[in-house]
Amino acid sequence: MRSAAIRATRLAGAALCALALTGCATRPEPLYYWGNYQGQVYAYFKGDTAPEEQILALEAELEKARAKGKRPPPGYHAHLAMLYGKTGRTDRLQQHLEAEKAQFPESAPFMDFLLKKIAP
């Protein structure tokens, strides 16, 4: 009788531990909204899409991120700036370099360097 009670207690304890560990296994919320950013960068380096197509896709993903209240990952605005530079839209290039610098202050020295390069 006593061994049955001990087994039941151990079984209940094991079930409680398993339940507690399952509750701790939730996935943390990502810091950034990645969308299809990585796929777009990969397509850029493969030469699969034109800069104009990538700009449209990345701007659409940026709108999705804003709608969800999320931030784009590091390099997102810088990549967009590069694409705008390839299309000759220096106004948008400058805007995205400034956005990258504002969102990630540690990138300021490099963003300043790039901004000086495009200054008239």
Q: Give the 3-state DSSP-derived string for 95-110, with helices as H, strands as E and coil as C.
A: HHHHHHHHHCHHHHHH
Do 93 and 85 contact (CB within 8 A), yes or no?
Answer: yes
Q: Which residues, 6 or more positions from 29, have their beta carbon under 8 angstroms from its beta carbon?
A: none
* Secondary-structure percent of the chain, ordered helix, strand, coil, rounded to 5: 75, 0, 25
Q: What does the pLDDT average to over 35-60?
A: 93
Work out the pLDDT band at 26, boundaries 50, 70, 90. confident
Amino acid, single-letter form, for residue 46: K
Q: Note whether residue 62 is domain-resident.
A: yes
Q: Note whether residue 5 is domain-resident.
A: no
CA separation for the pair 5, 61 (Å, rounded): 59
- How many domains are there within the chain? 1
Q: Note whether residue 31 is domain-resident.
A: no
Work out the pLDDT band at 1, boundaries 50, 70, 90. low
Evaluate if residue 74 carries a pLDDT over 80: yes
CATH of residue 50: 1.25.40
Q: Note whether residue 3 is domain-resident.
A: no
pTM score, whole prediction: 0.76
Q: Which domain holds residue 92?
A: 37-118
Work out the pLDDT band at 3, boundaries 50, 70, 90. confident
Q: Which residues, 6 or more positions from 97, have their beta carbon under 8 angstroms from its beta carbon?
A: 77, 78, 81, 111, 114, 115
Work out the pLDDT band at 33, boundaries 50, 70, 90. very high
Name the residue among 104, 51, 52, 50 with its Cα closest to residue 77.
104
Residue-wise pLDDT tens digits, 77-107 = 999 999 999 999 999 999 999 999 999 999 9
- Residue 71, SS3 per DSSP: strand
